[in-house]
Amino acid sequence: MTHFIDRRLNPKGKSLANRQRFLRRARNQIREAVQKSLKDSAVADIAKERKIKISTKGTKEPRFRLDPKAAGERDFVLPGNKEFMPGDEIKKPRSGEGGGRGKDAADYAEGEDDFEFVMSQDEVLDIFFEDLELPNLVRTTLKETPNKTWKRSGITTAGSPTQINLIRTMRNAQGRRLAMRRPKLKDVQELQNQLDLLEREQPQSDDTRERICALKAELAKAIARRKWVGFIDPVDVRYNAFTEQPVPTSQAVMFCLMDVSGSMGEREKDLAKRFYMLLHLFLKRRYEKVDIVFIRHTHDAQEVDEQEFFYSRQSGGTIVSTALDKMLEIQRERYTTSDWNIYAAQASDGYTQSGDARRCVEMLNAEIMPLCQYYAYIEILDEREMEVFASEDSGAELWRAYRTVADVWPNFATKRISKPADIFPVFRELFKKAEA
């Protein structure tokens, strides 16, 4: 009559459709929140599950409610009277603090409540990509998980017969045989020989007969014990264990170069950060290990940590070539080309000391480009400047200089950007290679 049904194996994610509808509904708030969250997170942390806090604007579910605080009168009953007598007056709690009004207050404040929930890595990336207007094919390439391979990982007690580890198995068996005192075949034969000798003796004395009996008993015991303590027992058997591991491709280092002089503001740095994030994401998919080196420069370059890179400000002139010098120095010290793939991403507002651009070009052509897999340069402008420099050919000194480098080296990309959607074309060549 009663039915017990085990539903645990039913497909999960029944509410996935509802979740998609919710994400779609709260699209704008979520996007804002994700962007803020990306801004505060490290470049390497982009592809991670994260907690998102959004305002409930846009996902309100209003219902008619009474508001007894505004006007009118009411009676209500509470539990836990301690000292009140009829006719007593109780001060109303201020702004719903404490007491029996806790719930009411929470209800009324609902409008301003922030709403917090967890977004999966894919959902975050979708929003990140949407902003950058990445082509779909590229999106899937980026989200793909790398290939796996089986790697040995120790010994287990269970496995398939083909994976038996003979040495371990035999060693265990031997240990067990010793511990359990399994008579050796040699010993049994010895006993048998003695017995045969004695039995052949003619005539047999009482003493001999007794010895024969004793030997027979000993022999039977030894044979029984050999049966009982097997040569190999299931407990001895060991198997080689294998686990899945990502294919070890090679390693890459990503140099982030940025001009941090006064002319680079909040907006410029935020754009630059997305640029680095996208490159990092790409490298992460292709290489098992990605190092990031942050180099900031004014008239002088330093290697700094990420926090300082994005958030501290320095004053001074602008000499781009110092950063290139620094990069080369670090590369020589720590990242030999035989072990590392080298990528560089440079962001700047396009100003440098006059004459420096020429030096940059020389360094790039002679030393840096032969080492690099890819070198991407973005010049961050505001919308107005963008109109002025509508043509690729016009521009400041550094821009014009870099254009000549791009002409020579196909793996050198330059782009002027003023909004997130402009970033992707810088990497177009890079992703084309990845797809092929």
Partner 1 sequence: MTDLLFSEAEWDFATLDRTYKAIEEIALNDLKLDVYPNQIEVISSEQMLDAYSSLGMPLMYNHWSFGKLFAREDTLYRAGYSALAYEIVINSSPCISYLLEENTMTMQALVMAHAAFGHNHFFKNNYLFRQWTNAEGILDYLAFAKRYISACEERHGRDEVEAVLDAAHALMDQGVFRYRRPPKPSRERILEKRRRRAEYEEEAYNELWRTLPAGVDPPASPPTLDAEDDFGEEMKLPEENLLYFLEKNSPTLKAWQRETLRIVRNLAQYFYPQRQTKVMNEGCATFVHHTIMNLMFDRGLISDGSLLEFLHSHTSVVFQPEFSDPRYNGLNPYALGYAMMSDIRRIAEHPTEEDREWFPSFAGSGDWVGALKDAWANYRDESFIEQFLSPKVMRDFRLFALFDKAEDSTFRVSAIHNEQGYRRVRSLLARQYDAGTADPNIQVVDANLKGDRTLFLEHHMHRGVPLHHTTKDLVTSHIETLWGHDVVLEEVAD
For 280, the enclosing helix (H) or strand (E) is helix 266-286
**Ranges within 246-285 binding partner 1 (CB under 8 A):** none
Contact with partner 1 (CB under 8 A) among 98, 203, 234, 410: 98
Beta bridge partners, 116, equal 53
Q: Pick from 28, 36, 39, 68: which binds partner 1 (CB under 8 A)? A: 68
Six-digit token string for 83: 């000292």
Q: Pick between residue 59 and residue 156 the one whose CB is nearest to partner 1.
A: 59
CB 277 within 8 A of CB 309: no
Q: Does 231 bind partner 1 (CB under 8 A)?
A: no
The answer to whether the beta carbons of residues 23 and 52 sit under 8 Å apart is no
Q: How far apart are CA 311 and CA 306, in angstroms?
A: 8
Q: Which is closer to partner 1, CB of 65 or CB of 221?
A: 65
Query: In this chain, which of 39, 48, 92, 267 binds partner 1, going by CB under 8 A?
Result: 92
Rounded to whole angstroms, the Cα distance separating 164 from 102 reads: 66
Our finding on whether 120 is near partner 1 (CB under 8 A) is no
Decide if residue 71 touches partner 1 (CB under 8 A): yes
Q: CB-hemisphere CA count at 13 Å for 100?
A: 10
231 touches 177 (CB < 8 A): yes
Give the orientation angle of helix 397-408 with respect to helix 356-363, to 10 degrees.
20
Which residue stretch of 21-29, 38-46, 154-162, 337-345 sits at the interface with partner 1 (rule: CB under 8 A)?
Answer: 21-29
Q: Does 111 bind partner 1 (CB under 8 A)?
A: yes
Q: Does 200 bind partner 1 (CB under 8 A)?
A: no
**126 near partner 1, judged by CB under 8 A:** no
- CB-based contacts of 422: which residues, under 8 Å, 6+ apart? 415, 416
Work out how close the CB of 34 gets to partner 1 at its nearest, in angstroms, rounded to a whole number: 14
By CB under 8 A, tell whether 407 contacts partner 1.
no
Contact flag: residue 90 with partner 1 (CB under 8 A): yes
Contact between 317 and 355 (Cβ < 8 Å): no
DSSP 3-state assignment of 293? strand
In sign, the C-alpha dihedral spanning 300, 305, 309, 313 is negative
Least distance (Å) from partner 1 to the CB of residue 99?
6
Examine residue 62 and tell whether it contacts partner 1 (CB under 8 A): yes
Shortest gap between Cβ of 134 and partner 1 (angstroms)?
A: 24
Is-contact 153 180, C-beta < 8 A?
Answer: no
Applying CB under 8 A, the span of 11-19, 124-132, 137-145, 400-408 interacting with partner 1 comes to 11-19
State in angstroms the smallest separation of the CB of 55 from partner 1: 13
Which residues, 6 or more positions from 99, have their beta carbon under 8 angstroms from its beta carbon?
93
Q: Could you say whether residue 4 binds partner 1 (CB under 8 A)?
A: yes
Three-state DSSP at 350 gives coil
19 near partner 1 (CB under 8 A): yes
Quote the tokens at residue 147: 């290939």
The site for partner 1, by CB under 8 A, has a size of: 67
DSSP 204: P
Shortest Cβ distance from residue 143 to partner 1 (Å)?
A: 22
Q: How far is the CB of 10 from partner 1 (least distance, A)?
A: 7
User: Minimal distance in Å, beta carbon 24 to partner 1?
Assistant: 7
Q: Does residue 105 interact with partner 1 by CB under 8 A?
A: no
For residues 101 and 225, which CB has a smaller minimum distance to partner 1 in the complex?
101
Integer Cα distance of 52 and 215 in angstroms: 83
Residue 51 corresponds to which tokens in the numbers above?
A: 């907690």
109 binds partner 1 (CB under 8 A): no
We find the least distance from the C-beta atom of residue 124 to partner 1, in angstroms, to be 14
Task: Give me 75's structure tokens.
Answer: 């009676």
Backbone angles phi, psi at 256, to 5 degrees: -105, 115
Nearest to 380 by CA among 252, 256, 272: 272
What are the residues whose beta carbons fall under 8 Å from the beta carbon of 206, sequence distance 6 or more?
none
Q: Which of 51, 148, 334, 428 binds partner 1 (CB under 8 A)?
A: 51
Residue closer to partner 1 (CB basis): 111 or 246: 111
List 40, 77, 145, 167, residue binding partner 1 (CB under 8 A): 77
CB of 317 to partner 1, least distance (A): 49
The 3-state DSSP class for residue 182 equals: coil
- Examine residue 21 and tell whether it contacts partner 1 (CB under 8 A): yes
* Minimum gap (Å) between residue 340 Cβ and partner 1: 39
Smallest separation (angstroms) from partner 1 to the CB of 57:
11
69 binds partner 1 (CB under 8 A): yes
Q: Please list, in sequence order, all residues whose beta carbon lies within 8 angstroms of the beta carbon of residue 138, skipping any fewer than 6 positions away.
A: 424, 431, 435
* Binding positions for partner 1, rule: CB under 8 A: 1-8, 10, 12, 14-15, 17-26, 51, 59-82, 84-92, 98-100, 102-103, 108, 111, 115-118
